[in-house]
Structure 1
Amino acid sequence: MLITLPSRYFVTRKASGHCQNINVLSGHKNAILDVKFTNDSERIITASADFNLGVYDAMTGARIKRFMGHKGIVNACDVCSEGSPSLAVSASDDRTARLWDARIRGEVGSFEDEYQITAVAYANDGQVVYTGGIDNCITAWDVRQMRRSMTMKGHSDTITCLSLNPKGTHLLSNSMDGTMRTWDIRPFVDDAAGGKKRHDKTFVGGTHNAEKGLLNCAWSADGMMVTGGSADCVVHIWDELSAEELYCLPGHSGCVNAVIFHPKENIIASASSDKSIYVGELS
């Protein structure tokens, strides 16, 4: 089980029984803010406050490449689930989202926004990149034409994370306004009224605090549940269909920064500012 840690390295651990470190991946000179496995599970992409991204071998823990080019903190990264495992996208305080290919030196493209970008998600087919930032909006960028194609409005504060559902039809967002929302990103949905018709559901219960952390959000493997980080030290899990809260799991003594579902089993893991990772089975 892989969880991002607020340090210059991160650790992979076994998710059951006695927790034992498998690897320690080092190399960044500042905090690691986001981590993603490539879609073949052979590499790990990291985003860091040192302005760089790292590419690591998931088996050996060795850093095999470094993506350099951002001029600000790299807040988030993502990979596309159906495209080449060499492709990645990053979002930064330098107001850009940049495309990377591990087979090529340097970036392969970039999108420039007017404000700092704090969240990013890659469409399953790699043809669209979604970004969110301090302007409270979600922007869709056409990768083929390298231009902005759509803006979705509704949040009233900074967007801290974006996550695509397994089918690639809906986008989940977490925001400092204290809500998580889903958005219908299928191409035939009417884009009128600034994307308001694309807003699907709102999930209420999680909180953000004065620390202004980039709290995550995530879908279950079947897309039937959603979860996300929360400053109230509680893990919140909602039913995606009804938007009702299914689980409210206490235990942490600090802000819950990240929560993630197991890809195959009914297990969830949460990482907190209290320096602990909880792994539990949902009933």
Structure 2
Amino acid sequence: MEKRKSPPPSAATSGAVTKRTRLDGPPPPTNTQLAISSGSDASKALVRSVKRTSSLDAPIVSLAGAHSSEILSCRFDPTGQNIAACSADRSISLWRTYPPNTNYALLTTIHKAPVLDVQWAITSPSLFSCSADKTVALTDLATGTRVRRWRGHTGVVNSIDRAMAGGSELVASGSDDGFVCVWEGEEKDAVVELEVGSPVTAVCWSGDGTQIFVGGLDNVVSVYDLRRREVVYTLPGHTDTIAGLALSPSHNHLLSTSFDSTAIIHDVRPFSASPTRVHRTLHGAPAGNENALLRGGWSRTGEGWVGVGGADRTVTVWEVDSGKPVYKLPGHKGTVTAVDFHPREPIILTASKDATMLLGELDNT
């Protein structure tokens, strides 16, 4: 782990995640006055009041300088206080969400190849990650050291997800070797291996941890029952490789993105009224020709919105019920690879091939 040159006073010397002082809550949003134009008489300046909806310093905050190559995944932690991002430069960066938005740690020794996905642990201040070095790792953020490295895949590991099942935290990983592996705690070997038959590009747990949604080069999402270890049904709709999967907060719907430039919201309730289970097909986020794994996300304060980045360097946010786009967010200088929503405030986090992230304040009224 390489520490930043000027860590904030609150950061431990090891670069570990430190708890923020507990407050009654974030400071209430305020109205910021901006001078739009002014002449020689300052009293006649045109002033506009901008409604604020979050505790960020500004409506848009740039997080830059940690990575030297494209950022491939980014996530808020469960509290919304911290952010983790991983990059093709083989490192993982840790940031403060709120002012001063410090990049307080850079983990450079966890993997030996590009880091493709990260997930915050549920039960401890730890971070799961996967890499092109064919491994899945668990890093203790109290010390900044890797405490577990799972070897079992024979190809690039593209995606990971974690879930609680039977009192244990399980990690699922999908690889180019055509397998999904499930890892648990102190176990050195995978506790479950699912042979998919084609490269796996996206994995996602069901809400109860009994099923795994798997996407890959076969253009469909396969739903595996972990107890039976077989496919129980599939979710069609895409015409090209699945690029990312994300489960809704209610666990009733699954968002899938694809190289075919569409995003589909699938109905994954046990008894769906739709034979195809397609709830909405969304257009507006072009995948481009880079074959990048574009990861979308759900607004976690409800199931009102989903967001997906695109090769047009923007993020499209749709209203789930109507399927209509409500935001087209610019700002990046490269393909937007990952989107996540803050768990408590209307804030969107985006990452890009331009090696930067943006925090954007949304109006959810």
Normalised to the residue count of structure 1, the TM-score between the two structures is: 0.94
Counterpart in the other structure of 1:263: 343
After superposition, give the CA deviation of every residue in 1:23-66 in whole Å (9 maximum; x if it has no partner).
22232010111111122352211010100011011333211101
Q: Pick closer, same or farther for the CA change 1:107–1:191 going to 2, 3 Å.
A: farther
Which residue of the other structure, out of 105, 123, 129, is the alignment partner of 1:23? 105
Q: Which amino acid aligns with 1:10?
A: I
Moved over 3 A (4+): 81-85
Question: Relative CO higher for 1 or 2, CA cutoff 8 Å, sep ≥ 6?
Answer: 2
1:127 aligns with 2:127: no
Counterpart in the other structure of 1:200: 279
Counterpart in the other structure of 1:2: 84
1:246 aligns with 2:326: yes
After superposition, give the CA deviation of every residue in 1:181-203 in whole Å (9 maximum; x if it has no partner).
111111112685xxx2x111011
Q: Distance in 1 between matches of 2:143 and 2:339?
A: 25
8 A Cα contact 1:218 1:227, kept in partner = yes
Tell me by how many angstroms 1:15 deviates.
1.7
Counterpart in the other structure of 1:114: 197
Tell me by how many angstroms 1:209 deviates.
1.5
8 A Cα contact 2:305 2:317, kept in partner = yes
Counterpart in the other structure of 2:136: 53
Counterpart in the other structure of 2:35: none
Q: Distance in 1 between matches of 2:165 and 2:185?
A: 16
1:172 aligns with 2:251: no
Percentage of identical aligned residues: 35
Counterpart in the other structure of 1:230: 310
After superposition, give the CA deviation of every residue in 1:109-156 in whole Å (9 maximum; x if it has no partner).
111112111000011211000100011000000101111111111100
Gaps of 5+ in 1: none
Tell me by how many angstroms 1:70 deviates.
0.2
Q: Distance in 1 between matches of 2:142 and 2:286?
A: 36
After superposition, give the CA deviation of every residue in 1:211-260 in whole Å (9 maximum; x if it has no partner).
10111011010121101221110011111111111111111110101111
Q: Which structure is larger by alpha-carbon Rg, 1 or 2?
A: 2
Normalised to the residue count of structure 2, the TM-score between the two structures is: 0.74
Gaps of 5+ in 2: 1-82
Counterpart in the other structure of 1:95: 178
RMSD: 1.5
Query: How many residue pairs get matched?
Result: 279
Q: Distance in 2 between matches of 1:154 and 1:184?
A: 12
